[in-house]
A = this chain, B = another copy of it.
């Protein structure tokens, strides 16, 4: 830390004007240096930087926000109660990626929970006041009014997990289609013939895409379509159990199951064990998410990993671009508004 001795006589924090006086330049020039404008000579820049260091100058955020009409802050909005936020590693991974990508920036991240009605109301107020330059939206339900509110308020926003193929907001997603394909292709490659699929909630776009991947992989391998091999779950363990039972009734000879989530795979595993099917000898099992459950299952579960940390990074990249684009009334294209990141199949003993 530089010496903070030479403060203004007022005893308060030094202002731009004081720095300018000290450096023997004008206010505008100091502003340019602070904001990294290239149109400043090297000598002047050095003088200003020296003055800044000597006075321990730190820009006043409020004044900057007022004059420039921006806040240098973005919000990560979690439309869930805090408890779920802490329970699920998804969020902490996401936060890690977001934080990492943001640490090169002046931007500040706000974490906002909007689980209860009360919190949602506060959030609406908050957004109406434009207290952030942009919003990151995670884990949004299909019928949530939040995205529309953001569009209406013209606040740049990026959503993780688009709500449909026609998502209006800029979005980041993992390749659910490819993830589904890779799971099935892996099972086919290891010699499985009858592969069932327990889907997630089909009102979740990502779950649909996994089904698409499942279907196409089988079709491309020359299997004829059999819709009876597909049974919807609801992302819960109980849903996994139920679906597995149904599938076993319909197809007693199935030798592989691809579950749309690790949790459902855990449910399926219970049923398989109860009826005496060995994993992977009799039935191979593949999950989705590569969560802690997958690693700790007995046997360890093959699963499709989503690059959540990277998704967080990508969300920030897109959001910052969107904010920057909006600053000048630019002619914004619709190009690359939807990022899709590759998944990775993590093979373990269950398949």
Contact = CB atoms under 8 A, between A and B. Distances in A.
Contacts of A61: 65, 129, 131
A56 interface: yes
Given A65-B62, A66-B60, A66-B63, A103 B118 contact: yes
A58 B125 contact: yes
A82 B66 contact: no
B128 A56 contact: yes
A92 B86 contact: yes
A35 interface: no
Contacts of A25: none
Nearest to A1: B124
Given A60-B66, A62-B66, A66-B62, A99 B82 contact: yes
Interface in A45-72: 56, 58-63, 65-66, 71
A316 interface: no
A96 B92 CA distance: 17
Interface string A110-138: 11010000110010011011110000000
Nearest to A129: B58
A345 interface: no
B82 A95 contact: yes
Interface string A312-350: 000000000000000000000000000000000000000
A13 interface: yes
Contacts of A66: 60, 62-63, 65-66
Interface string A128-164: 1111000000000000000000000000000000000
Given A58-B129, A61-B131, A108-B126, 4 more contacts: A13-B130, A62-B62, A65-B65, A82-B95
16 contacts: A61-B65, A61-B129, A61-B131, A62-B62, A62-B71, A65-B66, A66-B66, A82-B96, A82-B99, A83-B92, A86-B89, A99-B113, A103-B118, A103-B119, A108-B110, A108-B126
